[in-house]
Structure formats: structure tokens, C-alpha cells
Amino acid sequence: MGKPVKEKAVSEPAMSKQAYKHSLRQLQIELVKLQRHFIQCGDKILILFEGRDAAGKDGAIKRIVQHLSPRETRVVALGKPSDRDRGSWYFQRYVSHLPAAQELVLFNRSWYNRAGVERVMGFCSDAEYEEFMASVLAFEHMLVRSGVKLLKYYLDISKAEQRRRLNERKIDPLTQWKTSALDDQALQKWKQYSLARNEMLARSHNPVTPWTVVRADDKPLARLNIMKDLLSRLHYTDKDEQLLLPDPQIVLTYDAAYLENGVLAP
């Protein structure tokens, strides 16, 4: 096992703004190629983004969909479940948002809320949690058998970086809408969230719908490498293979060893 990685916030960007914008444009051109292909072929693509508060899910999704057709692209970010939702089959509120043929759907948090915030904050019972963990893979495998191309990303950040981003959020008038009563709990319950994350990844990682872990302290690099990874894993014509080589230090297929060797923030 390697030595644990010390927690630290990113203070300097790993690439210049000019280089970032250039790489971003190239990858967004590839995303347009992907969309042209899945519209022609009738593909159904579903991408799940999970991670702690302020992990960078919003920003990554925004750059992915920025130049895609809104008719065939949807971002799903569900709010607090209603009384009807709470009285229904847990997955029911998500089913209506699944992609049809020719669609790309991105979930900004997904059914894994039950394994994260609901678990930590006591919004679900132990029995409801165990029922979810027992059925989630069967649900996902059913989607895959029906033709859905499903990718799952977990964006991981350090505690220091989360604190910095949450504080920045409070003072920036353009991001204050993101603040919530749960922000303080995110830091106070850091360890509980880590344990919930560890159990979620360990119990729901599998060969059919594997988890991809993104080390996201550096937002620009995380965004670019998520794009590279998803584009490399989806089929489309005229793909620029040389452009789509994600950094293996940033984007990694989940491994149980990450819970002990410092790859995932403790």
C-alpha cells in the first residue's frame, strides 16, 4: 500500500487559462461529433455525477452540454422528494427522466442520494438503505440490458478544498444560490460522508456499471479529463483518439485499495 496522500487545497492551476480553453474547445467539438452519432444511431446515453457538495459536478456538466443541442440533451437535478415520491417505489421518480433513443441525459446527483446524503443525514431508515443497496445493481443492469449506455462518475475532493469552495460560494453573488442549510453539515459530518462514500463505492462497483473516480481538487483538469474519459468510452464516428487520453492520476476506475492508500480523500 502507498502512503496516504495529505489533504491539501489546490492553490495554483496546473495549466494556463489559454491551454485550458484550447483543450476545452477541442473536446467540445468531439462532444458535438458524439451527439451527431447518437442522434443518427438512436443511442440512449445516461451519465451519473456524484460527489460531495462543491465537488464540481455543476461545472463539469455545464461544460459538457454547453454546445450540445438542448432538444437531445437533458440535465436532471431533482429537488427534495415530495410526499408522493416518498410513498412510491424509490426509483420511480428517476425513471421518467431516463433517456429515450437519440438522447443524452446527465444526472446531477442520482438515485445514489440514498447512499449519500440520505444515509448520513438520517433522511432514510436503515431498512430503506439496505433495500436500495440490494436492488440498485439489478436496476442498473436492467437499464443496460434495455440499451442504455450508463456511466457513473464520483468526483472526490479534499476537506480543505471543500471548505474553500463552500466559503467562496457564500460571498460570490453568482453562486450564492448554491448555498444550503446542509453546507455546514458537509464539513461537520465529513467523516460520516467518507464512510458512506466508501460503502457506496464498495457495494455498487461492478463490471457492468463500474464507478469511475475523479480526483477533482483541480476543477479545470477534472472537467477536461471527465470529457476525455466519457468520449473514449462511447462509440462515435471520426473520433480523435489521440485527444482522448485521460490522465490516469485524475480519472481512475474504482478499486477497493483506494479506501486505504490515500487515493480517495480520507
pLDDT value, residue 6: 42
Q: State how far the Cα of 12 lies from the Cα of 60, in Å rounded to an integer.
A: 19
pLDDT at 106 over 70: yes
- Residue 221 DSSP SS3: helix
Query: Residue 77: CB partners within 8 Å, gap ≥ 6?
Result: 107, 108, 109
Exposed / middle / buried, residue 126 (Cβ in 10 Å: 0-12, 13-18, 19+): exposed
pLDDT value, residue 13: 52
Query: What is the per-residue pLDDT across 230-245, written as a single tens digit (0 to 9) for each?
Result: 999 999 999 999 999 9
Report the interhelical angle of 190-204 vs 126-145 (nearest 10°): 40
Lowest mean pLDDT among 9-13, 149-153, 212-216: 9-13
Average of per-residue pLDDT across 166-173: 90
Q: Give the count of beta carbons closer than 10 Å to the beta carbon of residue 204.
A: 19
- Which amino acid belongs to residue 220? P
Question: 10: pLDDT confidence band, cut at 50, 70 and 90?
Answer: very low
Question: 3: pLDDT confidence band, cut at 50, 70 and 90?
Answer: very low
Exposed / middle / buried, residue 115 (Cβ in 10 Å: 0-12, 13-18, 19+): buried
- Which amino acid belongs to residue 230? L
pLDDT at 9 over 50: no
Question: 20: pLDDT confidence band, cut at 50, 70 and 90?
Answer: very high
What does CATH list as the number for 17-55+62-190+211-259?
A: 3.40.50.300
Identify whether the C-beta of residue 92 lies closer than 8 Å to the C-beta of residue 187.
no
Instruction: Please report, for residues 136, 258, 259, the alpha-carbon distance to residue 1 in angstroms, rounded to integers and kept in the order given.
Output: 30, 9, 11
User: Domain spans of the chain?
Assistant: 17-55+62-190+211-259
Q: What percent of the chain has pLDDT over 70?
A: 95
Average of per-residue pLDDT across 192-213: 98
pLDDT value, residue 126: 98
Average of per-residue pLDDT across 148-174: 95
Q: Give the count of beta carbons closer than 10 Å to the beta carbon of residue 264.
A: 21
Exposed / middle / buried, residue 226 (Cβ in 10 Å: 0-12, 13-18, 19+): buried
Residue 67 sits at φ, ψ, to 5 deg, of -115, 15
pLDDT value, residue 178: 80
pLDDT at 103 over 80: yes
Q: What percent of the chain has pLDDT over 90?
A: 87
Lowest mean pLDDT among 159-168, 171-180, 200-209: 171-180
Instruction: Please report, for residues 79, 96, 111, 195, 216, the alpha-carbon distance to residue 164 in angstroms, rounded to integers and kept in the order given.
Output: 25, 36, 27, 22, 13
